[in-house]
Amino acid sequence: MIRREVAWRVFAGEFNASTLHVKDSEEERSPSYVVTPIGAMINRMFVVGVLTENENIGTDNEPMWRGRISDPTGTFYISAGKYQPEAASMLSRLKVPAFVAVIGKSRVYSPEGGKMYLSIRPETIVEVDAGIRDLWILDTAKATLLRMEAMKAATTIEEPSENALVEQGYSPTVAHGVMRSYQFYGMTDLDKYRSMVLATLKRTLPNTDEEDHYVPNLSAAEEIDIEERPDDMDQEDSVLDVIEELDLDGRGAPLDDLISATSRMEMDRTRLEEVINSLLDKGLIYEPVLGKMKRI
Amino acid sequence: MKKEQLAPMAKEINRVLKDKNEEDILQELETLVNEYGVNVDDAMRSIVRKFGGNVGQLSLQGGRMTIAEITGSEQSLDLLARIVYISKRMIGKDGDREIVGGILGDDTGTIPFTVWEPEGFDLEKGEVLLIRDAYAKEWNDEAQVNLGNRATWERKNPTELPMPERMPAQEVKVTDLKEGMRSVIITGRLVDVEQRTINLEAGPKTVISGVLADETGKVQFTDWSEHELQTGMGVRIENAYVRAWRGIPQLNFGEYATVVTDDGLPPVTDLVNSEPRPISDLESSGGGFDIVIRGTVLEIKRGSGLIQRCPECHRMVQKNECMVHGKVEANYDLRIKAVVDDGTGAMTVIMGQDITKQLAGIDLARAQEMAQEAMDMEVDQEFIEERLIARPVEVQGNASSDEYGMMLIASRTELMSRDTMAGIEALVAKLEGSV
């Protein structure tokens, strides 16, 4: 059964404190996950916050929209380019500040050893009201506390394992994430997260004093100011799409057409050949006759 | 392979060949297996053939199974098992043909069995036997072992299969039911009971089916041997088993089950309002009958909004062209295919015209108008997206699963109005109280 990746509810403070990026299997194109210090293992995520900035750092023809979304614990960075046309168009239309809900995939950019820049690649962005934001804070607080409880359970069990956690009543998904997290980060300072959740909840309640609700900054990541290049996967996906489009007679897409189509995507011939070779290796396309590529 | 491991196989060869020197056979077997790398079954066959024996009589390693491995489609299987229950029955047109039936057990589970030609079959409850060349079939949706005219059996020393008399029965609640469970004990109230006739290969058969509820949920059941059941009755059923249809666990029980009334249960009305279940739970049980989930709408899938259906088969069509019926005058319909995610898991929820109207505030006529004005059927999908994405919903219906994932056909969907502030206050109080 194909299991749709669950959308994790996490606060920015927890997400940005992550320093572990994993793949669940060695298989090509298997999903990747950002593992947080308290057991969220995030491929897809659902966040609601305030859009405070949006700008197009690309060109008019080739837009790349960036946005910052704040929750009470920190900032989520989102970016949407030509591969996320709906989200990019939505980002271009929104006036800041605005409450928005974002459903998207966790993204990691690590230009050099050790450093990780975390962001969200949105699948969907919608404008919402304050009620939806408050509800998200409540649900996210509950989800966070549940994972903290599971982390704590993992430290009190003599030989912690996924099965042991499931036996204690945690879902297999939570148990799996918590064990991955525990093995990498060891015991996280849960009190820090407990204060973060409590302060966030209190700030959300109407008519409470602001002063003692300082939300600690737990972020490990640095702000992103590096322009991203679409990575290999993106290029492979778009070449696959183009092959399908150009395959008019069902006998494959002619290589010449492919070269001219991809040159418009700023992909030179050498790069195109690399991508094609990679797709051939992965068994995603084949060459039915010389000079034609067909999607499998 | 070591000589000690090959010895019982040499013995088996000798059982078929009779009166050969076992040491010689072992020698030959060892040569084939260890020097030439022939697999054990092939080696055994070739030795039997060489001496003119009947290969069909050989009990090969590949054929030996445990009860848990039996799927119900085995044409030939060998089994070492204990008789857990046994009785004689008369069948046939005039009820003059005797067969023997019962339950076999090993340390992996139990399974019903039938001996079709029981002449000389004098085993009793508790005895252990080695069955060769039996076959397995599904009967009343459950795998069964059959001893036909090809089968042979042999009494074994009970110490060869140490196990309890009967598999420990599992006392479970409705939400614990999972495909493949056997020896299930369950207590619940029958909220729906009906008699129906189904057509089996052997001819029509009357069964009783319906819905059983306990405080955790509801499950459809089939009673294959017409116990005295009535709507509203509280019952305790022992020795039931579970089969799944599209992932939805269903309770089955037949002649080896006992059904007794149990009146210590709340009335039906208190049992039919199911509590919401986490989607992760439904993922592990494969589905559920008439369940409730609460989650957030995260996606409105393609094929939502205004769609066209073939008037013949109601399949979705595009440009009046049905995959099966060709050119058709398609009907318009309105529906929503949404992804609902509760943080533990996600599933696709299908909602029909009425629910779409109530949830998104758009009816078929308005949807058609909008599509005409925009000259684009997708405007309706966008309209629905704007109204539903990121909204909390409560959904009721049957959740099933197939290779594409989990799906729920909604009988009811409601936008939830949740008292968020009360929830936050309660959580704050709990956190501050626990310092």
Q: Are residues B291 and B406 in the same domain?
A: yes
pTM value? 0.69
d(CA A126, nearest CA chain B) in Å: 7
Q: Are the C-beta atoms of B294 and B394 separated by less than 8 Å?
A: yes
d(CA A163, nearest CA chain B) in Å: 14
Q: B345 and A173 in contact by Cβ < 8 A?
A: yes
What is the average pLDDT value for chain A, to the nearest integer? 85
Phi, psi dihedrals of residue A181, rounded to the nearest 5°? -65, -45
Q: Are residues B309 and B396 in the same domain?
A: yes
In angstroms, rounded to a whole number, what is the distance separating the alpha carbons of residues A287 and A290?
Answer: 6
Quickly list DSSP for B361-381. S--HHHHHHHHHHHT-THHHH
Helix intervals (H) in B324-363:
353-360
Q: Which of B160, B182, B211 is the last residue of a domain?
A: B160
Tokens at A274, concatenated: 């690399």
Q: Are residues B334 and B350 in the same domain?
A: yes
Asked if residue B372 is part of any domain, the answer here is: yes
Higher pLDDT, B331 or A257: B331
Q: What residues in B contact A173, CB-CB < 8 Å?
A: 280, 344-345
A142 inside 8 A of chain B by CB = yes
Asked if residue B141 is part of any domain, the answer here is: yes
A3 inside 8 A of chain B by CB = yes
> In which region does residue B120 sit, left (phi positive, over 0), alpha (psi from -120 to 50) or beta (all else)?
left
pLDDT at A214: 56
A137 inside 8 A of chain B by CB = yes
Q: Are residues B142 and B179 in the same domain?
A: no
Torsion angle defined by CA atoms of residues B406, B411, B414 and B419, in that order, rounded to the nearest 10 degrees: -70
Q: Are residues B321 and B378 in the same domain?
A: yes
Q: What residues in A contact B427, CB-CB < 8 Å?
A: 138, 141-142, 145, 201
The H or E element that residue B24 is part of is helix B22-30
In angstroms, rounded to a whole number, what is the distance separating the alpha carbons of residues A50 and A128?
Answer: 10
Q: Are residues B210 and B153 in the same domain?
A: no
Q: What residues in A contact B343, CB-CB < 8 Å?
A: 6-9, 46, 139, 143
Asked if residue B221 is part of any domain, the answer here is: yes
Digit-by-digit pLDDT tens for chain B (435 residues) are: 777 778 878 888 888 888 788 888 898 888 888 888 777 778 888 888 888 888 777 777 666 788 888 888 787 788 999 888 888 888 877 778 889 988 898 877 788 999 998 888 888 888 899 998 889 988 877 889 999 988 888 888 888 776 554 556 778 999 889 887 888 999 999 999 999 988 877 788 889 999 999 988 999 999 998 888 999 899 999 989 888 888 899 999 988 888 999 888 887 777 776 789 999 989 888 899 999 999 999 999 988 999 999 998 888 888 888 888 888 888 999 999 999 999 999 999 999 999 999 999 999 999 999 999 998 888 999 999 999 999 999 999 999 998 888 999 999 999 998 889 999 999 999 998 865
Smallest CA–CA distance from A208 into chain B, residue: B425
B283 inside 8 A of chain A by CB = yes
The alpha-carbon radius of gyration of chain B (Å, integer) is 29
Q: A233 pLDDT band (50/70/90 cuts)?
A: low
Smallest CA–CA distance from B281 into chain A, residue: A171
pLDDT at A226: 42
B200 inside 8 A of chain A by CB = no
Q: B427 and A142 in contact by Cβ < 8 A?
A: yes
**Domains in chain B: how many in total?**
4
Tokens at A24, concatenated: 């669940």
List the 219-248 stretch of A: residues with Cβ below 8 A of B: none
Q: A171 and B339 in contact by Cβ < 8 A?
A: no
Asked if residue B424 is part of any domain, the answer here is: no
Q: Are the C-beta atoms of B196 and B207 separated by less than 8 Å?
A: yes
Q: Are the C-beta atoms of B390 and A101 separated by less than 8 Å?
A: yes
The CA-atom distances, in angstroms, between A42 and each of A190, B209, B346 are 19, 43, 14
B23 inside 8 A of chain A by CB = no
Q: Are residues B293 and B338 in the same domain?
A: yes
Tokens at B162, concatenated: 């140490």
d(CA B384, nearest CA chain A) in Å: 12
Q: Which of B133, B160, B187 is the last residue of a domain?
A: B160
pLDDT at A134: 95
Q: What residues in B contact A124, CB-CB < 8 Å?
A: 298-299, 385, 389
Q: A134 and B386 in contact by Cβ < 8 A?
A: no
d(CA B277, nearest CA chain A) in Å: 12
Q: B341 and A194 in contact by Cβ < 8 A?
A: no
Q: B421 and A103 in contact by Cβ < 8 A?
A: no
Which among A258-262, A289-293, B96-100 has the top mean pLDDT?
B96-100
d(CA B140, nearest CA chain A) in Å: 26
Q: Are residues B52 and B131 in the same domain?
A: no
Residue B107 is part of a domain; what is its CATH number? 2.40.50.140
Q: Are residues B202 and B86 in the same domain?
A: no
Q: Are residues B312 and B389 in the same domain?
A: yes
Q: What residues in B contact A1, CB-CB < 8 Å?
A: 401-406
Residue in B298, B402, B423 nearest the CB of A7: B298
Q: Are residues B208 and B231 in the same domain?
A: yes
pLDDT at A247: 79
A17 inside 8 A of chain B by CB = no
Which domains, from first to last, does chain A contain?
7-213 (2.40.50.140), 232-295 (1.10.10.10)
Q: B424 and A204 in contact by Cβ < 8 A?
A: yes
Higher pLDDT, A76 or B181: A76
Asked if residue B184 is part of any domain, the answer here is: yes
Chain segment A180-232, per-residue pLDDT in tens: 999 999 888 899 999 999 999 998 988 655 555 556 566 655 554 444 444 56
Q: A205 and B431 in contact by Cβ < 8 A?
A: no
pLDDT at B346: 95
Could you tell me how many CB contacts below 8 A there are between chain A and chain B?
103
Q: B403 and A1 in contact by Cβ < 8 A?
A: yes
Asked if residue B309 is part of any domain, the answer here is: yes
d(CA B12, nearest CA chain A) in Å: 42
Asked if residue B347 is part of any domain, the answer here is: yes
Q: Are residues B54 and B109 in the same domain?
A: no
Reply yes or no: is the peptide bond before residue A97 cis, omega within 30 of 0: yes
Q: Are the C-beta atoms of A80 and A65 separated by less than 8 Å?
A: yes
Neighbours of B387 (CB within 10 A): 16
- Domain hosting B203: range is 171-267
Q: What residues in A contact B299, CB-CB < 8 Å?
A: 103, 123-124
The CA-atom distances, in angstroms, between B420 and each of A103, A135, A206 are 21, 6, 12
d(CA B349, nearest CA chain A) in Å: 13
Higher pLDDT, B188 or A237: B188
Asked if residue B430 is part of any domain, the answer here is: no
